[in-house]
A and B are shown apart, each in its own frame.
Chain A
């Protein structure tokens, strides 16, 4: 790897020191920059990000110790090597220098050979530049990752939203269009059926069946009651239907007359998680009874689904089941909710879904 010429920043108020150091270093393939005061030195350091700073101690206004401290406090410059200029017998300055973050000391008057050797010994003076560049690259990569991650979340959210919208539209279509047409057909068939029962009765039985199928399909796709009356009414209806179909007895606290509405996304999420949780109970838990509670306060909404079935070890779930579990988790997360599952073999399963709904008030 070809290394860039290392840049050294000299902060010293004495003009002759500039000349001396320039003479010593410029020829040795270093690029040297100068600052006349502590303040200017700080500014320049922030601007050029030198590979090394040579810092005088005695300067007016802001001395070298303070400059050193400020350099160390700046996250961009905290790692740059700093050499302080001291006199041979100044033990106290060296101690203070070390305590404010100096890396090494150069004794005045400067010995040309010693300085160059020290610089060589400081392996790869531009180590600091690499560090900084690497950190920047890392930061960029991290930012990109964050953006990508956000995009992915956004996309998942969109997929869910699109899926729900699609289901809702399809359900509406089935309900309003196809359902209505079949109903119309029934009325048309009804009149002649009174005159000529047998054949037309059959035709009517078929349309009845068709209508029932369409209606079930509609409800499975998207329950209109959720859009029309909200979670309490929708879950109340769903539980009745689900109990009839599955034989599961479900204790619950739902109030079908509740007028309380929350965000549509939260309503959909809670409804779908409840559906999935109940389906799991029938499919896997072998429980005869379950308990579902929906608690809506001013700031919180909580769904709790409990069964006293066989339970399972969440760490060891079959792939088919885990997709259902992660599906619930994912839905909850995407809608900004907190999903909690607890299950122990032999002790049943508890699913909690919690939303902070403070912002809606």
Chain B
């Protein structure tokens, strides 16, 4: 198992050197090579078969996400840890869904990167605690998407949904239900938000599937 073999892909020389020297200081690690862009990283992974690749998210040429995609497509066994400046769950989730094992923030303690490498050697994930909450929130939110049902809507909302699906404008609906346009829009917005619908077409499809209207 030890030493864990690594490659390091990072376009900033300063960061790369700093990280390299910290990795070198740990006898459990053996850094096989450095890459300063995505293409070089791919070559290193293909030729050196490291246990772990540490990838920067933003690099010239191929970025981190694209490198991950290539590695996965080729079925290479190297585990990938994304080390990123982006303390943003969106980037983390995209990297993880793309096939990265772990996502670590660059400005977290170096012990986090060590932990991520340690985990990777055992095929386990690591996520920087600073963004873990957002990442989980985002993933859980996404998984709720399939539970769409009419039960989530109030009676009034179902009424508005039906009228929208039948092709009525907010103004017409307001007239029919004796509501203000603003209130109708509020109902529409609540429906869209509750059901996680992102287009008008999806809203109409939902109404059809629920038998509220016919295609």
Q: A180-B12, A184-B12, A253-B192 are in contact. Are A295 and B199 (CB under 8 A)?
A: yes
The number of residues on chain B lying at the interface, defined by a beta carbon within 8 Å of a beta carbon of chain A, is 45
A233 touches B90 (CB 8 A): yes
A sample of 17 inter-chain contacts (CB < 8 A) reads A184-B14, A187-B22, A208-B107, A224-B86, A225-B86, A237-B88, A237-B89, A252-B193, A253-B192, A253-B197, A291-B186, A295-B198, A304-B189, A306-B185, A308-B186, A342-B182, A350-B181
Cβ-neighbour of B181 out of A187, A253, A342 (below 8 A): A342
Say if the beta carbon of B177 comes within 8 Å of chain A: no
Say if the beta carbon of A140 comes within 8 Å of chain B: no
Q: A224-B86, A306-B189, A348-B182 are in contact. Are A184 and B196 (CB under 8 A)?
A: no
- Nearest B residue to A308 by beta-carbon distance? B186
Q: Give B178-208 as 1s and 0s: 1 = Cβ < 8 Å from A's Cβ atoms.
A: 0011100110111011111111110000000
Docked CA distance A292–B185 (Å):
11
Q: A251-B190, A300-B200, A347-B182 are in contact. Are A191 and B94 (CB under 8 A)?
A: no
Q: Which of B86, B190, B196, B199 has the most CB of A within 10 A?
A: B199
B87 touches A253 (CB 8 A): no
B142 touches A256 (CB 8 A): yes
- Nearest A residue to B203 by beta-carbon distance? A295
- Nearest B residue to A194 by beta-carbon distance? B25
Docked CA distance A175–B86 (Å):
9
In the complex, which residues 68-101 of chain B have their Cβ closer than 8 Å to any Cβ of chain A?
85-91, 93-94, 97
Say if the beta carbon of B106 comes within 8 Å of chain A: yes
Docked CA distance A185–B58 (Å):
19
Chain A residues whose CB sits within 8 angstroms of the CB of B197 once the complex forms = 253
B85 touches A183 (CB 8 A): yes
Say if the beta carbon of A70 comes within 8 Å of chain B: no
Say if the beta carbon of A118 comes within 8 Å of chain B: no
B15 touches A297 (CB 8 A): no
Q: A236-B90, A291-B190 are in contact. Are A304 and B21 (CB under 8 A)?
A: no
Docked CA distance A347–B179 (Å):
13
Cβ-neighbour of B19 out of A187, A211, A254, A304 (below 8 A): A187
Interface residues on A, range: 35 or more
In the complex, which residues 224-242 of chain A have their Cβ closer than 8 Å to any Cβ of chain B?
224-225, 228-229, 232-234, 236-237, 240
Chain A residues whose CB sits within 8 angstroms of the CB of B94 once the complex forms = 229
Say if the beta carbon of B17 comes within 8 Å of chain A: yes
Chain A residues whose CB sits within 8 angstroms of the CB of B110 once the complex forms = 187, 190
> Closest approach, in angstroms, between the C-beta of B164 and any C-beta of chain A?
11
B200 touches A211 (CB 8 A): no
In the complex, which residues 242-273 of chain A have their Cβ closer than 8 Å to any Cβ of chain B?
251-258, 260
A253 touches B198 (CB 8 A): yes
Chain B residues whose CB sits within 8 angstroms of the CB of A47 once the complex forms = none
Cβ-neighbour of B199 out of A297, A308, A348 (below 8 A): A297
- Nearest B residue to A228 by beta-carbon distance? B91
B14 touches A251 (CB 8 A): no
B22 touches A258 (CB 8 A): no
Chain A residues whose CB sits within 8 angstroms of the CB of B142 once the complex forms = 255-257
Docked CA distance A293–B189 (Å):
6
> Closest approach, in angstroms, between the C-beta of A266 and any C-beta of chain B?
15
Q: A181-B14, A187-B22 are in contact. Are A215 and B87 (CB under 8 A)?
A: yes
B12 touches A183 (CB 8 A): yes
Q: A179-B85, A187-B22, A191-B21 are in contact. Are A225 and B90 (CB under 8 A)?
A: yes
- Nearest A residue to B142 by beta-carbon distance? A257
A187 touches B12 (CB 8 A): no
Chain A residues whose CB sits within 8 angstroms of the CB of B91 once the complex forms = 225, 228
A-B pairs with the 7 shortest C-beta distances? A187-B18, A184-B14, A180-B12, A253-B192, A291-B189, A251-B193, A293-B192
